[in-house]
Amino acid sequence: MPVVFVDLGKGFFAPFIAMKMVEAFEPSYDWLPLVAGLLAILGHSFTCFAGFRGGKGVLTALGVFLALCPITALASFAIWILLVVTTKYVSVGSIGGCLALAIFSTMGYFKLPFPPDEINLGLCITTLLVAVFVIYKHKANIKRLMNGTENGFGKKRKTPKDSEIVSAEKNSDSVEN
């Protein structure tokens, strides 16, 4: 559980501090919080402390977007919860939550007044980049989901050998009948 708070914190504070610096010193650098957020996600995913191999960046991205667009981030987190509860797969929730974040941000769906007068193009591009990045980082999970070998909550741990045994048992049952 402490890892959750560390990942969320590093994602949140990078753009938050950048926003405060922009407000205090140079308002024309409004792109700086977006870059700080992207760098936090990349730094998490390619950390030098683990041989440039880190996490998939989902919690760090949630922290980043809680700082940049909290309502949209919370709505996307709700999608994550819904998908994890219904599918029992964290990877499905992570992919769906990031897609929802990009879609909500692009639509300006949770920006008041509705429909919005303008949509922040930099934020839209950033959310799209993060969504593509997170989905790419989940490519092994996607393969396991397609093969039926992804581990989920409350499910027996599957291996390729288990699925081969099940298919062999089904074949032997059909031969006996």
Query: pLDDT averaged over consecutive 10-residue blocks of the chain (177 residues)?
Result: 86 94 84 93 85 84 93 94 94 94 77 63 89 92 90 66 50 47
CA angle 170, 171, 176 (to 5 degrees): 100
Torsion from C-alpha of 21, 26, 30, 36, nearest 10 degrees: -40
Dist CA 62 CA 78 (whole Å): 12
Specify the pLDDT at position 177: 47
Per-residue model confidence (pLDDT) at position 51 = 77
Q: What is the DSSP string of 20-74?
A: HHHHHT-TT-TTHHHHHHHHHHHHHHT-GGGTT----SHHHHHHHHHHH-HHHHH
pLDDT of 27: 77
Gap between the Cα atoms of 90 and 87, Å rounded = 8
Task: Provide the pLDDT for residue 77.
Answer: 95
Q: What pLDDT does residue 48 have? A: 79
Sequence length of the chain is 177
Report whether 12 contacts 66 (CB < 8 A).
Answer: yes
Domain boundaries along the sequence of the chain: 2-137, 149-177
Q: Which residue is associated with the tokens 């994550």?
A: 80
Global pTM value: 0.79
So what's the pLDDT on residue 114?
58
| 23: its two tokens | 């407000």
The pair of structure tokens assigned to 46 is 């390619």
- Cβ–Cβ under 8 Å, residues 110 and 72: yes
